[in-house]
Amino acid sequence: MQKLYIKHLGPIEECEINIDEFMVCTGPQASGKSTIAKSIFFFKNIKNILFVEYKKKYLLNRHVAESRNVTVKQRFMKEVRANFLQIFGITGSLDGDMFLQYQYTEKKILKVFLEKNKEGLYEVKVDFSKDFNELFEMLENRSKEIHNHPDPILELTEREIKEFFNDKTDVVYIPAGRSMITLLSNQMNYIYSSMDDIQKRNMDYCTRSYLEKILQMKSVFTISPVEMLNDVIAMTYIKIDEERAKESISLMKQLLQGEYINKDGEERLQVSNNRYVKLNYASSGQQEVVWILNVLFYYLLNGESTYFIIEEPESHLFPNSQKLVMEFIALVCNGNGNQLFLTTHSPYILGTINNLLYADKVSRNVDKSELNRIISKNKWLNFDKVNAIFVQNGKIKSCLDKEFKSIENEVIDGASEQINEDYDKMLELKG
């Protein structure tokens, strides 16, 4: 099992987290939920950084002699440090005792910390277990090879890097505050294309990664989700769970009250055959949720295992819609070996998760077909694969009730209890 250790980063004082298949993180605002989410993204994305730097070195070696003086390891270390700063900010804003550690396997460990240079300023340092040196050496030697057809070599290397990190999943970060990007969707292509590399690097890397993904995906959604599914079914080399995909399309329609389509460069919600709403005029809830739905649906059709990090899927949604979006997320993340880290403040999201856990629990003792009519079997959550944590005062604690195989009710109903307590006290004043 992979593990993350954080010390003195953002609001987090110290914590160690097992990275399970389905993770839920809750707690007050500014308690450190996003810090944990970004830390997981940073370490999960390391393998992609390494492959990109190897690929650059490999391709440049064929054409630029100067590139041979910079090793794959040097490229990787420089880019990891830059990536860390793009996610967590300049070193001057960080605690000097900051320390991060990620355990990919028992022997493969990567550490990130701060260290003062000769001028007395803090610099980001990266350290790793000895297995990494063997990987760097292999990549360096391979980068010097010349092949007439490099694509198979690049594909092989990417696969070997993923195997080294014991992680074959792509990693996708869906940040909070999505509606602003959606609201400016028509202008975003121009805004982003007009930025130079320095301006792009100054953007929060998680947001930039999300933005680049949706800009790339827009061209795929020029047809309806049903048509997209039919196209994928026709491609016999892609394995697709049709039942799961059809269920997801149904939930998308319910949540959006229509279908998303990008027609002639204009993003629309198609309400009926003859009527549509431009996305930038849609409700704030629709704008917040549309790209959660689109991104997850895209990867569902893609058929590749993905690690999703989703912040606050409940934003701007009516309670019933919060239930539906959580069911949609569970539906997609239960297929293709997908995994999830989700942050939330919502008792409706947590309550829905409990229902999905309970459905799996009682499925052994009731008529499965009847249960399936209440909650689709594709949404049931296995308690053994779920981890729920509560973040507060710089620490984390598990909020799983192992006896009832659910998230603790105290976490879900905490605010309601306080509200009811205040109400009862006011009633007592009346005598």
Please provide the DSSP assignment of 77-130 as one string.
HHHHHHHHHHHH--GGGS-TT-EEEEESSSS-EEEEEEEE-TTS-EEEEEEE-T
pLDDT of residue 304: 86
Buried b (16+ CB within 10 A) or exposed e, 330-365: bbbbbbbebbbbbbbebbbbbbbbbbbbbbbbeeee
In angstroms, the CA 359 to CA 227 distance is 32
Which residues sit opposite 398 in a β-bridge?
A: 389
Q: pTM of the full predicted structure? A: 0.92
Instruction: Show me where the domains of the chain are located.
Output: 3-44+169-429, 45-168
In angstroms, the CA 356 to CA 406 distance is 9
Phi first, then psi, for residue 401 (nearest 5°) are -100, 100
pLDDT of residue 335: 84
Closest of 5, 22, 209, 170 to residue 104, by C-alpha: 5
In angstroms, the CA 400 to CA 152 distance is 45
Burial of 214 (0-12, 13-18, 19+ CB in 10 A): buried
How many residues are there in the chain? Answer: 431
Residue corresponding to tokens 């003792």: 365
Phi first, then psi, for residue 388 (nearest 5°) are -125, 130
∠ at Cα 260 (256, 264), nearest 5°?
150
pLDDT of residue 185: 60
The tens-digit pLDDT sequence of the chain (431 residues) is 899 999 999 999 999 999 999 999 999 988 999 999 999 999 999 999 999 999 988 887 655 555 567 899 999 999 999 999 999 988 888 999 999 999 999 999 999 999 999 888 999 999 999 999 999 999 999 888 877 778 888 999 999 999 999 999 999 999 988 877 776 665 556 555 666 666 666 678 998 899 889 888 988 999 999 999 999 988 877 788 999 999 999 999 999 999 999 988 889 999 988 899 998 889 999 999 999 999 999 999 998 899 999 999 999 999 999 999 999 999 999 988 999 999 999 999 999 999 999 999 999 999 999 999 999 999 999 999 999 999 999 999 999 999 999 998 878 776 667 777 777 876 788 65
Angle between helix axes 319-333 and 347-362 (nearest 10 degrees) is 50
H or E element at residue 73: helix 72-88
Burial of 428 (0-12, 13-18, 19+ CB in 10 A): exposed
Residues 6+ apart with CB under 8 A from 152: none
pLDDT of residue 198: 61
In angstroms, the CA 313 to CA 310 distance is 7
Phi first, then psi, for residue 297 (nearest 5°) are -65, -40
In angstroms, the CA 19 to CA 387 distance is 8
What is Dmax (Cα atoms) for the chain?
89
Contact 207, 37 (CB under 8 A): no
Contact 49, 81 (CB under 8 A): no
Classified by CATH at the fold level, domain 3-44+169-429 comes out as Rossmann fold (3.40.50)
pLDDT of residue 187: 59
In angstroms, the CA 308 to CA 385 distance is 15
Q: How many helices (H) and strands (E) does the chain have?
A: 16, 16
pLDDT of residue 224: 93
